[in-house]
Amino acid sequence: MNTIHPNIAVLQQFNPANISASIGIIAEDAIFHYFNPMLPDMQGDYLRY
């Protein structure tokens, strides 16, 4: 059986380089937690809306 698991199918649609294009698969109350030691000014939590 070569059926793709539903979670894998959703992840294949997600493009972290273009979150706007993936808006249909992201929950309305999603929170992105960002941390990059090379970019400390951008560190924090970002809401989808």
pLDDT given for residue 27 in this prediction: 82
pLDDT given for residue 41 in this prediction: 86
Cα separation, 45 vs 24, in Å, equals: 20
User: Tokens in use for 32?
Assistant: 């992105």
User: Tokens in use for 31?
Assistant: 């929170």
Closest CA to 31 of 21, 39, 19, 17: 19
pTM for this one? 0.47
The tens place of each residue's pLDDT in the chain, 49 residues long, gives 689 999 999 889 888 888 788 888 888 888 888 888 888 888 888 876 6
The size of the chain, in residues, is: 49
User: CA 48 from chain center: how many Å?
Assistant: 9
